[in-house]
């Protein structure tokens, strides 16, 4: 595997899941695969889970790891070509990428949506520059429009906890004080659409996700109706994706607290498991009671980030010439 940005890069999901469970049984099974190989993790944005789980995954495979926080200690990077660089940015991404690539074998990039220009975000302008100019395999550690390592970990978790062959999985919008990107819900939809689940998306009007990710999924605007009989509730906030009204891209259209996932919401489900990628704002997205219940999967889900990253890095190592 040369690049990992979406569900299709992984190929057959059944094989990927089988590989994930094989690694979960013995996460050091391939500990010599990455000997004398270096994984560079580049963060343009903050992280707890991705930072730790991806380092752990690389070390499971015997790799060396370099972590670079671009905004803490590196030169501030210009990303636009043609700009007269007389401001605070000392280095251009077009030099920085090949230089960074010369020190490593595989590159992970975290670069969130900027919400300044929808096209720039939805064409993955930063991530694609790494793909184009590094000459190295590149994987997304959450880019402008996708978070595939999270979605793979979510699928592994659903597979582990499901009580029926084809569970009902509901992705629900929930309120948040800040404008958040659509990377997590986009990728979750991307993966659920390929998985053997009955997938429903619910959100207030105006929050329609990009059709590229929604595809054939059912969209239900009545949140409680969507929750009826659900086996898994996946909560996440996202700012306006700008699908129905491009001028609203990146805006907060609602902070309606009736969308917060609480016990009354969970009561209409089929004793559903609660999921969230974390970090989560308690009593905005979900109540203390729901996230602390035995049916909350937020910790196993985060733990599975190590497994999803190990599978992806293993496949990238296997693809190196
Ligand atoms: N879920 C997730 O990606 O967490 P971090 O932002 O802490 O890495």
pTM for the complete prediction?
0.97
- Same structural domain for residues 159 and 291? yes
- Same structural domain for residues 163 and 233? yes
- Same structural domain for residues 298 and 155? yes
- Same structural domain for residues 156 and 272? yes
Predicted complex ipTM exceeds 0.90: yes
42-74 tens-digit pLDDT: 999 999 999 999 999 999 999 999 999 998 888
- Same structural domain for residues 231 and 282? yes
CATH number for the domain that contains residue 77: 3.40.50.1370
CA of 207 from ligand 1 middle (Å) equals 22
- Same structural domain for residues 162 and 33? no
Q: What is the DSSP letter of 34?
A: T
Tell me if 142 CB under 6 Å of ligand 1.
yes
For residue 73, the model assigns a pLDDT of 85
Q: Percentages helix, strand, coil for the chain, rounded to the nearest 5? A: 40, 15, 45
Tell me if 47 CB under 6 Å of ligand 1.
yes
CA of 86 from ligand 1 middle (Å) equals 34
Q: Is 15 annotated as a binding residue?
A: no
Question: 179 to each of 1, 86, 202, 246, how far by Cα in Å?
Answer: 33, 30, 18, 15
d(CA 131, CA 134): 6
Q: Is 278 annotated as a binding residue?
A: yes
Phi and psi at 245, nearest 5°, equal -140, 95
- Same structural domain for residues 141 and 181? no
Q: Is 203 annotated as a binding residue?
A: no
Task: Count Cβ atoms below 10 Å from residue 320 Cβ, excluding itself.
Answer: 13
Question: Which atom from ligand 1 is nearest to the alpha carbon of 46?
Answer: 6
User: Above 90 in pLDDT, residue 297?
Assistant: yes
Range of the domain at 58: 3-146+305-318
- Same structural domain for residues 126 and 170? no
Question: Which atom from ligand 1 is nearest to the alpha carbon of 141?
Answer: 3
| 204: confidence class by pLDDT, cuts 50, 70, 90 | very high
- Same structural domain for residues 236 and 178? yes
d(CA 32, CA 215): 40
- Same structural domain for residues 137 and 9? yes
- Same structural domain for residues 262 and 314? no
Q: Please calculate the CA angle 39-3-41 and round it to the nearest 5 degrees.
A: 25
Tell me if 63 CB under 6 Å of ligand 1.
no
d(CA 45, CA 58): 20
User: Above 90 in pLDDT, residue 140?
Assistant: yes
**Total tally of structural domains belonging to the chain:** 2
Tell me if 140 CB under 6 Å of ligand 1.
no
126-138 tens-digit pLDDT: 999 999 999 999 9
17-42 tens-digit pLDDT: 999 999 999 999 999 999 999 999 99
Question: Which atom from ligand 1 is nearest to the alpha carbon of 277?
Answer: 1
User: Above 80 in pLDDT, residue 300?
Assistant: yes
- Same structural domain for residues 72 and 186? no
Contact between 275 and 297 (Cβ < 8 Å): yes
67-120 tens-digit pLDDT: 999 988 889 999 999 999 999 999 999 999 999 999 999 999 999 999 999 999
């Amino acid at each position: 595997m040369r690049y990992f940005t979406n569900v299709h890069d992984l190929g057959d999901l059944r094989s990927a899941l089988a590989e994930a469970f094989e690694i979960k049984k013995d996460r050091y099974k391939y500990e010599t695969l990455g000997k004398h190989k270096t994984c560079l993790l580049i963060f343009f944005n903050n992280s707890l889970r991705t930072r730790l789980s991806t380092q752990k995954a690389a070390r499971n495979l015997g790799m060396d790891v370099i972590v670079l926080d671009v905004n803490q200690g590196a030169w501030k990077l210009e990303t636009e070509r043609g700009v007269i660089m007389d401001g605070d940015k000392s280095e251009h991404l077009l030099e920085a990428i090949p230089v960074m690539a010369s020190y490593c074998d595989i590159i992970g990039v975290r670069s969130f949506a900027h919400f300044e220009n929808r096209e720039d975000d939805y064409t993955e302008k930063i991530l694609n520059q790494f793909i184009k100019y590094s000459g190295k395999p590149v994987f997304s550690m959450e880019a402008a429009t996708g978070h595939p390592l999270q979605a793979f970990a979510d699928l592994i978790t659903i597979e582990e906890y499901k009580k029926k062959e084809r569970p009902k999985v509901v992705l629900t919008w929930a309120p948040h004080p800040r404008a958040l990107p659509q990377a997590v819900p986009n990728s979750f939809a991307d993966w659920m659409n390929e998985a053997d689940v009955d997938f429903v998306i619910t959100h207030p009007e105006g929050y329609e996700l990009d059709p590229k990710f929604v595809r054939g999924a059912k969209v239900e605007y009545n949140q409680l109706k969507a929750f009826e009989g659900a086996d898994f509730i996946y909560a996440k906030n996202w700012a306006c994706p700008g699908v129905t009204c491009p001028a609203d891209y990146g805006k907060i259209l609602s902070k309606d607290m009736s969308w917060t996932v609480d016990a009354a919401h969970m009561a209409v489900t089929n004793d559903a498991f609660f999921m969230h990628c974390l970090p989560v704002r308690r009593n905005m997205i979900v109540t203390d009671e729901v996230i602390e219940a035995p049916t909350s999967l937020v910790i196993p889900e985060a733990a599975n980030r190590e497994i999803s990253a190990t599978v992806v890095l293993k496949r990238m190592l296997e693809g190196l010439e």
